Structure 1
Amino acid sequence: MSVDWFSQLQKARKKCIVQNNLKRIHFELDDNREMVEEYDLNTNVVTRRAWRINRQLKGENSWEIEIGDPEPSYDSDNKYIIRENSNQPFITRRNTRINLEWRIRNLPYPIEVYSVLVDKELSALIVQTTNKKYYKKIIVPDLQRLCIELEQENVSFSHRFNTLIITYKKPRRLIDFEKALLEEIKKIKPEDSEEILKNCKIS
């Protein structure tokens, strides 16, 4: 476990609300970063994680999604959803008790053309196809924060419904870290406050 990252989260100002079977924790770190995590109360798994680096630069409600689907964007009149090209590949992150998972949609090629390789120098997963139609470098911040090196043996992938599903088996150190953090989170008393809910809104 990275004592440094764990201690940062321990020292962070934290607020908690429970809503719709989700526990939402709002962390305010000493370096002015903010992080929101949402936990499924049935599984205790993080279903969503988002970051706000700088309110003044990013805007009050501008968040970078690390885990979970991005929120839909609307036009200036807040009426119409703005979507990316539905035919272009896009990637989303998932989290389970034992795995990190990425889904890259709109990839129609057969599984034989894909490779997912660990690049230890870049500390990333490199996804590419032999037909040179797709290339993606995937950073794994969960492991970077704990200074855990990527290992090829933990990588597996499958392909169905035009979606490449990449799975990375969580190292024991990450699992232990998540268990320890969960125990810290259990100590936080949920607050019933509309202001907290407003501040934790991810969009």
Structure 2
Amino acid sequence: MSFWVDTLRSARKTALLQDGRRKVHYTFPDGNELAEEYDVKTNDLIVRKWRKKTTLGGPTKWDMEIGEDQNYASNLVMGAEHMVESMSNPVLCRRDTKKAFQWRIRNLPYSLETFSVKVEDKDTIVVRTSNKKYFKKIDVPDMQRAKIPLNQSDLTFAHANNTLIIQYKKPKQILDDHETIVREIEQLKVSKDGDVDCKQS
């Protein structure tokens, strides 16, 4: 059993089914919280977000690990004046597939040859452009928690519609952990109502 699976098992959990998603809320002994949302049909993980305690013991805002900040997306749709400038800024969002971690960086209108996407320090993906218009470090918390170093050969990227798409092949341990966690949350008693937010870079 991996450290991550053991950590989730030790947390207090509540679950509910809503809008075709299985939503699971974890509370850990240190007071930190984790919320995840799984597609009921495919068991794909759609959302993972964290809320940690401050040094004074109060809660912070939710921090997205997987999924898109709905508050940010709503502001763009509304066309709020204070968000107009942000509409053209690069926006990073993680949306995994079954076999790969995947990140999409929107609003990057450069050709594929402009980008360099490399593993650095064995635990970080670094995106650079030859025109020096964009630079971003991307952490992979799943791999860090499992203490598995990143491998350049498992990293691929493509570009289409002003979006850079980065994929990293999930190792077997990550896939096995996912299956174990899904089996366990499927056994949780769930309610059918209630409510358990890509990050601008």
Q: Is the 8 A contact 1:72 1:82 kept in 2?
A: no
Deviations 1:114-143 (A, max 9, x none): 01100125x100100111111100000011
Q: Is the 8 A contact 1:25 1:37 kept in 2?
A: yes
TM-score with structure 2 setting the length: 0.87
The equivalent of 2:155 in structure 1 is 155
Q: Which has the higher contact order (CA 8 A, sep 6+)?
A: 2
Paired AA for residue 100 in structure 2: N
Alignment pair present for 1:124 and 2:124: yes
Q: Is the 8 A contact 1:72 1:81 kept in 2?
A: no
Q: CA deviation at 1:5?
A: 2.1
The equivalent of 2:105 in structure 1 is 104
The equivalent of 1:171 in structure 2 is 171
The equivalent of 1:66 in structure 2 is 65
How many residue pairs get matched?
189
> How many Å separate the matches in 2 of 1:25 and 1:97?
19
Deviations 1:55-94 (A, max 9, x none): 75445xx21111111121589xxxx696361111110000
Deviations 1:84-109 (A, max 9, x none): 61111110000111011000011011
Give the secondary-structure state (helix, strand or coil) at the position aligned to 1:72.
helix
Paired AA for residue 127 in structure 2: V
TM-score with structure 1 setting the length: 0.86
Alignment gaps of 5+ in structure 2: none
Q: CA deviation at 1:39?
A: 0.2
> How many Å separate the matches in 2 of 1:57 and 1:81?
31
Give the secondary-structure state (helix, strand or coil) at the position aligned to 1:95.
coil
> How many Å separate the matches in 1 of 2:59 and 2:106?
27
Q: CA deviation at 1:148?
A: 1.0
> How many Å separate the matches in 2 of 1:163 and 1:175?
27
